[in-house]
Amino acid sequence: MSDFSDDSEVFSLQRGTVPLLVSMPHIGTEIPADLQDGYTAQALQVEDTDWHLHRLYNFLPLLGASVLRPRYSRYVIDLNRPPDDAPMYPGASNTELCPTRFFSGEPLYKAGREPGPEERARRREACWQPYHSALAAELARLKAKHGFALLWDAHSIRSHIPWLFEGKLPDLNIGTAGGASAHEAIAAAVVQACDAAPHISLAVNGRFKGGYITRHYGRPAEDVHAVQLEMCQSLYMQEVPPYAYDEALAWHVQPLLKNMVAGVLQAANHLYA
């Protein structure tokens, strides 16, 4: 039975100098060796990963942002789901805290090998809790130093997934939990940055309003603001195996992405000036 190593190896945290933390909860690709036999062969390809985000967001050190990334795949445990496994989008297709299905709805595990209550609790304690403890501690550090903290929850997804949504997803999907997780000026700054790229479609609090991380940590009344960006992978990579990064596509979208993140930081600085 995997012990998932110690807390320091479950995630990596790069501490920055500005009041901004970027969380990438679905960028991990590893499945512990002693768990792999329970998964289907296809699941071991971890196709529903938020591929290459660390590369796409390579400008974050220049902005001085903190960056938090997990080691393990969302197929082991989904760090953007609540610990009680309550559905994030009631009435729609949802994946669980310990997912049992691909985004296609097909099973991740061989028949009868899905994790039971004890195994799910073990994964929550070993992987989910350390990540969230680090996230909360970094936000607290940033707030103590700067008087406020910003959380940018970075995600990407294939542009067509019928099990999750109809048709093609808008290119950029901003979530602020319906306005509850961030001051309206911060959300407006993201939209304003997108005005420079009218050829890229945008939705605000549409199908993706923000997952657990955005909803739980975004507390404007306590000077912590959270924004989720769910972006289509077609903007920067191949959406089919081997899920290759596309330098030419990424080159076009990275300036917009940088302006969005920088715009959020600038808007927050104005709020607290």
Number of alpha carbons in the 13 Å side-chain half-sphere of residue 194: 18
pLDDT score for 201: 96
Tell me the pLDDT tens digit for each residue of 228-268: 999 999 999 999 999 999 999 999 999 999 999 999 999 99
In which band, very low, low, confident or very high, does the pLDDT at 162 lie, cut at 50, 70 and 90?
confident
Enclosing H/E stretch for 168: none
Number of alpha carbons in the 13 Å side-chain half-sphere of residue 19: 23
Query: Reading across the β-sheet that carries 202-204, which strands appear in turn?
Result: 11-14, 66-70, 20-23, 149-157, 224-232, 172-175, 202-204
Q: Is the peptide bond before 25 cis (omega within 30 degrees of 0)?
A: no
How many other β-carbons are positioned within 10 Å of the β-carbon of residue 196?
Answer: 11
User: pTM of this prediction?
Assistant: 0.95
In which band, very low, low, confident or very high, does the pLDDT at 1 lie, cut at 50, 70 and 90?
low
Asked if pLDDT for residue 90 goes beyond 80, the answer is: no
In which band, very low, low, confident or very high, does the pLDDT at 95 lie, cut at 50, 70 and 90?
confident
Residues 147-173: what's their mean pLDDT?
Answer: 93
Tell me the pLDDT tens digit for each residue of 166-199: 889 999 999 999 999 999 999 999 999 999 899 9
Distance CA 249, CA 38 (A): 36
